[in-house]
Amino acid sequence: MILLPRGPGASAVLSVFIGGVLLVAVTAARVPMRWVVRISIIVALLAGIAVVTILAFGDSGMTTGLGMTTLLVVAVPVAIVSALRDARTVSIQAVFGAIAIYLIVGLAFALAANLDARVSGDPYFAQTHTASLSQYVYFSYVTLATLGYGDLTPATAVGRLLAVFETIAGSLYLVTAVSLIVSRVGAERPARSQR
């Protein structure tokens, strides 16, 4: 995905690819079939709208496509969490699910930063006027992991806000969710009460 060339065709392929990944994640998360069907319809519509706007309107369509892709990426952790919530035993699959959510959150912030730059028209980073998707992804994971190398820094107010929010979200997620899951691997949880 990061190695895709720039342009409308690559953005259209990316939107379809992300939609497919969401469907695979929902299916792998053992979401009930009625929800899989509903989610599949929504994904197909969003991916279709993204592809049409990208191919029809060029650069402005690419912004719409990026917005749709960001929505799809944000939906993946929701599907994974819903499956983990209903699991009776915390397994190694739950650990991988927690790690997958962490990685997807980083990707969602990268897409949100890219979307902010496209919508505002201002350079997102102080060090470069035109950033590639790989630079957004790199910056996002450096920020999520609270490394803060400083080679890329956000130049906009929204960019700084996103960076602060991502740092806090990354720290809290590692401290709470991942440590809780890892500490309970193999332990059986009590059944949830049905109301």
Q: Cα dist. 5→9, 13, 62 in Å?
A: 9, 11, 13
47 and 65 co-located in one domain: yes
Q: How many CB atoms lie within 10 A of CB 124?
A: 26
Range of the domain at 38: 1-86
pLDDT in tens, the chain (195 residues): 445 556 667 777 777 777 777 777 767 666 677 777 887 888 788 778 877 877 787 766 666 666 666 766 776 676 667 666 666 666 776 777 777 788 888 888 998 898 889 888 899 999 988 888 788 989 999 999 988 888 999 999 999 999 999 999 999 888 887 677 767 666 665 555 555
Q: How many domains does the chain have?
A: 2
In a domain? residue 192: no
**3-class state of residue 147 by DSSP:** coil
Domain of residue 111, CATH code: 1.10.287.70
Task: Report which of 104, 102, 112, 107 is spatially closest to residue 162, judged by C-alpha positions.
Answer: 112
72 and 25 co-located in one domain: yes
In a domain? residue 195: no
Determine the pLDDT at residue 139.
Answer: 94
In a domain? residue 193: no
In a domain? residue 135: yes
In a domain? residue 142: yes
Q: Are 170 and 143 within 8 A, CB to CB?
A: yes
59 and 129 co-located in one domain: no
> The whole model's pTM is what?
0.70
45 and 98 co-located in one domain: no
Distance (Å, whole) CA 84 – CA 30: 9
Determine the pLDDT at residue 168.
Answer: 93
Determine the pLDDT at residue 157.
Answer: 92
Fill in the DSSP letter of residue 194.
Answer: P
Q: Which of the listed residues 36, 54, 86 is the one where a domain comes to its end?
A: 86
47 and 103 co-located in one domain: no
155 and 166 co-located in one domain: yes
80 and 95 co-located in one domain: no
Q: Are 118 and 58 within 8 A, CB to CB?
A: no
Determine the pLDDT at residue 1.
Answer: 42
Q: At residue 58, what is the residue type?
A: G
Task: Report which of 14, 9, 74, 88 is spatially closest to residue 39, judged by C-alpha positions.
Answer: 74
Q: Which of the listed residues 54, 86, 118 is the one where a domain comes to its end?
A: 86
Determine the pLDDT at residue 115.
Answer: 86
72 and 155 co-located in one domain: no
Determine the pLDDT at residue 153.
Answer: 94
In a domain? residue 194: no
Fill in the DSSP letter of residue 44.
Answer: H
Q: Are 160 and 154 within 8 A, CB to CB?
A: yes
Q: Are 124 and 159 within 8 A, CB to CB?
A: yes
93 and 77 co-located in one domain: no
Q: At residue 131, what is the residue type?
A: A
In a domain? residue 2: yes
Q: Which helix (H) or strand (E) holds 110?
A: helix 92-120
